[in-house]
Chain A
Amino acid sequence: MSVKKFVVGCFDDEKVLFPAVAKVRKAGYKLQDVYTPFPVHGLDKAMGLRDTSLHTAGFIYGLIGTTTAVTFMSWVFTKDWPVNIGGKPHFALPAWIPITFELTVLCAAVGMVLTFCYICQLAPFIKKHHFHPRATDDLFVMVIECTSKTNENEVKHFLENAGAQEVNVQVVEDGWWIGRYDKEQQLYREPIVA
Chain B
Amino acid sequence: MSLTKYESQLREPLVDGKKTYHDVTVDIVHTIEAKPTRLWYIGFWVAVGLLLFGVYSVYREVTYGIGQWNVNRTIGWGWDITNFVWWVGIGHAGTLISAILLLFRQGWRTGVNRAAEAMTIFAVMCAGQFPIFHMGRVWMAFFTMPYPNTRGPLWPNFNSPLMWDVFAISTYFTVSLLFWYSGLLPDLATVRDRAKTKLRKHLYGIASFGWTGSTKHWQRHESLSLVLAGLSTPLVLSVHTIVSFDFATSVIPGWHTTIFPPYFVAGAIFSGFAMVQTLMLVMRKVMGLQDYITLGHIEAMNKVIVLTGSIVGCAYLTELFMAWYSMVPYEQSAFFESRLSGPYGWSYWLMMTCNVISPQLFWFRKLRRNIAFTFIMSIVVNIGMWFERFVIIVTSLYRDYLPSSWSTYYRPTIWEVGFYLGTFGLFFTCFFLFAKYFPVIAVAEIKAILKTSGESYKDEMAPLENESAEKFNKDMHHGDHHNGHDDHDGDVTFVKH
Contacts and interface: CB of A to CB of B under 8 A. Distances in A.
A134 B154 CA distance: 57
Q: Which 7 residue pairs across A and B have the least CB separation, nearest first? A: A138-B21, A45-B485, A126-B210, A122-B209, A38-B447, A38-B444, A95-B159
B407 interface: no
Contacts of B494: 14-15, 18, 42
Contact of A116 (B159, B186, B220, B447): B220
B168 interface: yes
A96 B158 contact: yes
Interface of A: 14-15, 18, 22, 33-47, 49, 51-52, 54-55, 58, 62, 72-73, 76-77, 80-81, 83, 85, 88, 92, 95-96, 98-99, 101-103, 105-106, 108-110, 112-113, 116-117, 119-128, 130, 133-138, 141, 176, 185, 187-188, 191
B463 interface: no
Given A99-B164, A116-B182, A176-B210, A58 B227 contact: yes
B174 A110 contact: yes
Nearest to B190: A136
B29 to A, nearest CB: 9
Contacts of B21: 37, 137-138
A109 B219 contact: no
Contacts of A123: 209-210
Contact of A138 (B25, B214, B222): B25
Given A33-B216, A135-B212, A187-B195, A99 B163 contact: yes
B422 interface: no
A37 B444 CA distance: 6
A173 to B, nearest CB: 13
Interface class of chain B by DSSP: helix
Contacts of A38: 186, 218, 443-445, 447-448
Contacts of A33: 214-216
B353 interface: no
Contact of A103 (B1, B157, B167): B167
B459 interface: no
Contacts of A81: 152-155
Contacts of B213: 35-37, 135-136, 141
Contacts of A42: 483, 485, 487, 489, 491, 494
Given A38-B445, A126-B209, A136 B193 contact: yes
Interface string B333-351: 0000000000000000000
Most B CB contacts (10 A, CB to CB) among A49, A58, A77 go to: A58
Nearest to B176: A109
A147 to B, nearest CB: 20
Interface string B143-172: 000100000111101110101100110010
B215 A49 contact: yes
Contact of B157 (A83, A101, A112, A133): A83
B189 A108 contact: no
A185 B379 CA distance: 48
B174 A106 contact: yes
Most B CB contacts (10 A, CB to CB) among A42, A45, A136 go to: A136
